[in-house]
Chain A
Amino acid sequence: QKEVEQDPGPLSVPEGAIVSLNCTYSNSAFQYFMWYRQYSRKGPELLMYTYSSGNKEDGRFTAQVDKSSKYISLFIRDSQPSDSATYLCAMVKTSGSRLTFGEGTQLTVNP
């Protein structure tokens, strides 16, 4: 069983929709959580970083962490065609430095 599970999609939504992307994890040692966006032929771009349970908002993006359920989410409001990309969740254990990635979810926002 993988330590981090993420539905690979693909996920296709109309422009303006609210998008919900999710990851679950099995090891409570994971304490730091990140969401990366990766466009085709580009490197992963850090979108959100959080380490506590609860919500963190940045513009149209909200990252949510529920450590009791071992579940993290990224919400995208008013989605745009430019949001079409692969979204990778990533997390790090308390005493570690290795990023453990989910498989990535491919998102397409249709105009």
Chain B
Amino acid sequence: DTEVTQTPKHLVMGMTNKKSLKCEQHMGHRAMYWYKQKAKKPPELMFVYSYEKLSINESVPSRFSPECPNSSLLNLHLHALQPEDSALYLCASSQDLPGFFPQHFGDGTRLSIL
């Protein structure tokens, strides 16, 4: 079992729906990340939070809206998604932001857009 918990595991939504993905870690990590992974490809970075503040946005479309309510939780709000947004969405955390702290991943939410 991973120490980064993501819910839901699967999500099917229409293009007009609004939904949220949730991520939780209790390792005391201060950096949290959202990644998108397409089949047979490595994860692609979307957002980075450090000490609950958005640190990096990799030019992600505004239909994806991240939120970090506290140091243990990370949300990704979804609205008006496109079929090409269907993918595995991974959350990760690390002790702190500098790269010498390795990142630990959750098992992801598999998202399908109808």
8 Å CB contact of A46 from B31, B56, B103, B107: B103
Q: A96 to B97, alpha carbons, bound, how many Å?
A: 8
Number of A-B contacts (CB under 8 A): 61
Q: Is the CB of B45 within 8 A of A88?
A: no
Chain B contributes a number of interface residues (CB within 8 A of A) equal to: 25
A34, B102: Cβ atoms under 8 Å?
yes
Contact A97 B97 (CB under 8 A): yes
Contact between B42 and A93 (Cβ–Cβ < 8 Å)? Answer: no
Flag the segment in A13-21, A72-80, A100-108 that touches B: A100-108
For the complex, is A42 an interface residue (Cβ under 8 Å from B)? Answer: yes
| Most B C-beta atoms less than 10 A away, residue of A45, A92, A97, A101 | A97
In the assembly, what is the distance between CA of A103 and CA of B40, in Å?
8
Binding site for B on A (CB under 8 A): 8, 31-32, 34, 36, 41-46, 49, 51, 88, 90, 92-94, 96-99, 101-104
Q: Lowest 4 CB-CB distances: which A-B pairs, in order?
A: A92-B99, A101-B42, A43-B105, A43-B107
